[in-house]
Each structure stands twice: as structure tokens, then as C-alpha cells.
Amino acid sequence: MTTKIIDGKLIAKKVKDEIKTEVAGLIDNNDSTPHLVAIIVGDDPASQTYVASKEKAARSVGITSSVYKFPTDISEEELLNTIDFINNDDEINGLIVQLPLPEHISVSKVIESIDPEKDVDGFHPINVGKMVIGQPSFISATPAGVLELLKRYKIETEGKHCVVLGRSNIVGSPLSILMSKKSYPGNSTVTVCHSKTKDLSSIIKQADILICAIGSPQFVKADMIKPGAVVIDVGIHRIPADNEKGYKIVGDVDFEDVRRETSYITPVPGGVGPMTIAMLLSNTLLSFKKKHDS
Ligand code: NAP
């Protein structure tokens, strides 16, 4: 079987190039430029890295980027006041709060305090609700990245059986809803699987499109796959390896084992991962345009 590798790095670059061209056009027209703010609390190294790469990517396309850094012991009230201040700043189009937050701060309170019009992560209940009923909204970046890959590779989704592994609020649930929507990509018949699902292998075997977001390294093997399936791997894990770094990055899918059974597959790294930041920037530009068109 011929397998096509879905090149997320390439598509993410295309998306960013398109954003860069559009932002350059705004500058030529003497408009202001989109502005993305990230809030980070504490010194978790992974969070610092994520925020730094978001900042770098924003600047690379001409989007203004600012980072508000706070110590772990910031009070919830002070954080909420900062969010309120940013909500009221007309020059800011997108606001993201890097998770996780320290235990004394309520994540839901923080997310709900972000102006839904600036919620470019698409986590606010208003944006989630609009997504569910098919109204224009910010779709959170990772699910949006998966849809964009399907679209750019013109993968047929209508009438297909799409199996989504995982039901988290940020990946599995939104993807299961989006894939069932009366739209493209969408119009699929969707099955959602989770830790309580019985006979998981036989359900995976029925998938024309398999989306994996279970957070378990190399969980999906070749003998679970329907020949010719499209496999989208959202998982990211660092596992020990006998190389210079001492580790390698893998997904929820055992890529080398599974690839030969598939028609399309995303690699890890280089598949869904690079799309997440690209779609965050796309949401920031969208927020800017919504404000300036209204
Ligand atoms: P999560 O919140 O841990 O959710 C995992 C989901 O998988 C849960 O619904 C869980 O079921 C289900 N699950 C776990 N083990 C299972 C099993 N053995 N069989 C069936 N279902 C099982 O994870 P997440 O935040 O959605 O992330 C999933 C993966 O994607 C992680 O590897 C994460 O690092 C990666 N990720 C990547 C990006 C990106 O930019 N590419 C973004 C976000 C996440 P229950 O609901 O029953 O517990």
C-alpha cells in the first residue's frame, strides 16, 4: 500500500507564510498589527519553552507578542485583575494563559475571565458552546490543526467512520464534535473512545479515520488498523532511547509499525505538533480582523 506521510511542518510553514503576508498587508495599509499576549505563572521549564516558541513564532509572522510572567505565589485575585486589564486593552487581540497553573488558582475561573473575543486558545465555555452548535468561534489550536491537515491534504471525511481515541476537553472532545459537523472536514460518523471503552482494538479496527489523543506512547499497533485508514497522531511523548540525547519523541501510534497499513499518517514529531502554534497565530489574526471589520 502506498502511504502518504502528512507533513505538518510543511503545512504549518504554509499557514504561517500566509499569515505573514496578510500581516504585512496590514502594515502597508498603515493599520495596526495583531497583538498576542501570553501569561505564564511559575517557572515550569516545559511551559517556559512553549511560551518562548509561541512568542518566537508570533514575531516571525509580524504579530506583536508580549509575555506577562508571574511568580508561583501570585494570588488568584491579582491574576484575574491582570486578565481584566488585558481584556480592556483595545490594542490586544489575543490572550492565552499557559497551563498548568498553581493549585491555589482555579483554572476554570481564569479561563472564564478571559474575554471570549480574545480567547484565541478557544477554551472559554462561550467559544466551546459556539463550536458545538456550529456558530463561528475560536476553535482551539490543536483540533484546528488536525482539521487543517485533513483539509490541505484533501482527505475525504464525508460518510467515513472516524474513531477518536480520547475525550479530553482540549483535544478528543472538540475533535469528535468537529468531525461530526455538517461541514468539511466533517460529516463523519464518529465514535469516541476512552479509558472505560470495552474492546478498544475492535473499534479501532473499524476506523476509516483514526485520531489518537490518549497520551499513551506507541499504544496503537499495526494489527489494530483497518488497511488504508487515515491515522492522525496527536500524542507527544519523550521516551528513553539509545542515542546521543538519551531520548526520542514518539506519539500515541507506533509509527514504524503502523505506517505500512495506512493511506495517510502523521509522523511524530513533525505532524500535528507544528500545527498547534500555526493555528494559534491564525486565531490571533482572525480576532484582529473581527475587531477591525466590525
Ligand atoms: P488527557 O487529558 O490525558 O486525555 C487522554 C484521554 O485518553 C482521556 O479521555 C482518557 O480517558 C483516554 N485514555 C487514556 N488511556 C486510555 C486507554 N488505554 N484506552 C482508551 N482511552 C484512554 O490527554 P490530552 O490532553 O487530550 O492529550 C493527549 C495526547 O496529546 C498527549 O500525549 C499530549 O501530550 C498530546 N497533545 C499534543 C498536542 C499538540 O500540540 N500536538 C496538544 C495537546 C495534547 P478518560 O477520559 O476515561 O480518562
Between the CA of 26 and the centroid of ligand 1 the distance, in Å, is 39
pLDDT above 90 for 29: no
* Atom 5 of ligand 1: nearest residue by CA position: 214
Rounded distance between C-alpha atoms, residue 151 and residue 155, angstroms: 6
| Distance of alpha carbon 244 from alpha carbon 241, whole angstroms | 9
pLDDT > 90: what percent of the chain?
Answer: 96
Q: Which residue has the higher pLDDT, 286 or 27?
A: 286
Q: Which residues contact 151 (CB under 8 A, 6 or more apart)?
A: 184, 185
Range scoring the smallest mean pLDDT among 17-31, 126-140, 212-226: 17-31
List, for residues 108-138, the tens digit of each pLDDT value.
Answer: 999 999 999 999 999 999 999 999 999 999 9
Please, are residues 62 and 23 in contact by the beta-carbon 8 Å criterion?
Answer: yes
State the helix-helix crossing angle for 172-180 and 125-132, rounded to 10 degrees.
30
Q: How confident is the model at residue 30 (pLDDT cuts 50, 70, 90)?
A: confident
Q: Mean pLDDT, to the nearest integer, of 77-105?
A: 97
Confidence category of residue 25, pLDDT binned at 50, 70, 90: very high
CA of 36 to the centre of ligand 1 (A): 27
For residues 291 and 294, what is the distance between their CA atoms, to the nearest angstrom? 5
Number of other residues whose CB lies within 10 A of the CB of residue 37 = 24
Q: What is the DSSP string of 275-293?
A: HHHHHHHHHHHHHHHHHHH
Ligand 1 contacts CB of residue 198 (under 6 A): no
Q: How confident is the model at residue 239 (pLDDT cuts 50, 70, 90)?
A: very high
| Distance of CA 167 from the midpoint of ligand 1 (Å) | 7
Task: Reply yes or no on whether the pLDDT at 248 is more than 80.
Answer: yes
Residue 98 CB neighbours (<10 A): 20
Q: Under DSSP, is residue 142 helix (H, G, I), strand (E, B) or coil? A: helix
Size (the chain), residues: 294
pLDDT higher than threshold 90 for residue 292: no
Q: Tell me: pLDDT of 67 over 80.
A: yes
- In the structure, what pLDDT confidence band is assigned to residue 293 with cuts at 50, 70 and 90? confident
Please give the pLDDT value at position 112: 98
Q: What distance in Å separates the CA atoms of residue 226 and residue 128, rounded to the nearest whole number?
A: 32
Which domains does the chain show, CATH number per domain?
Answer: 30-115 (3.40.50.10860), 141-273 (3.40.50.720)
Ligand 1 pocket test, candidate residues 9, 123, 171, most atoms within 8 A of CB = 171
Task: Determine the average pLDDT of the residues in 225-248.
Answer: 96
pLDDT of residue 27: 83
Q: Are strands 237-240 and 247-250 parallel, antiparallel or unpaired?
A: antiparallel
Residue whose CA is closest, atom 48 of ligand 1?
195
Q: What is the mean pLDDT of the chain?
A: 96
Whether ligand 1 lies within 6 angstroms of the CB of 276 is answered as yes
Nearest atom within ligand 1 for CA of residue 271: 41
Q: Is 168 in the pocket of ligand 1 (CB under 6 A)?
A: yes
Mean pLDDT for 170-191 is 98
CB of 172 shorter than 6 A to ligand 1: yes
Q: 200 pLDDT band (50/70/90 cuts)?
A: very high
What is the Å distance from ligand 1's center to 215 Cα?
Answer: 4
- Assess whether the C-beta atom of 195 lies below 6 angstroms from ligand 1: yes
- pLDDT range class, residue 31, cuts 50, 70, 90: confident
CB of 191 within 6 A of ligand 1: the answer is no
Closest CA to 190 of 214, 166, 169, 168: 166
- Catalytic residue annotation: 54, 98, 121
Integer Cα distance of 284 and 51 in angstroms: 15
- CA 210 – ligand 1 centroid, Å: 14
Asked whether 152 and 11 are in contact (CB, 8 A), the reply is yes
Say how far apart CA 15 and CA 11 lie, in whole Å. 6
Q: How far apart are CA 179 and CA 22, in angstroms?
A: 28
> Which has the closest alpha carbon to 141: 8, 293, 294?
8
For ligand 1, is residue 47 a contact (CB within 6 Å)? no
pLDDT, position 1: 74
Torsions phi, psi for 82 (to 5 deg): -65, -45
Nearest atom in ligand 1 to 251's CA: 32
Which cell numbers in the block locate residue 261? 497499513
CA gyration radius for the chain? Answer: 19
**CA 225–ligand 1 middle distance (angstroms):** 19
Q: What is the pLDDT of residue 279?
A: 98
Q: Which atom of ligand 1 is nearest the CA belonging to 273?
A: 41
pLDDT digits (tens, 9 = 90+) for 271-283: 999 999 999 999 9
Q: Are 102 and 42 in contact (CB under 8 A)?
A: yes
Flag whether pLDDT at 206 surpasses 80: yes
In contact, 76 and 111? CB cutoff 8 Å? no
For residue 236 and ligand 1, the question of a CB distance below 6 A is answered with yes
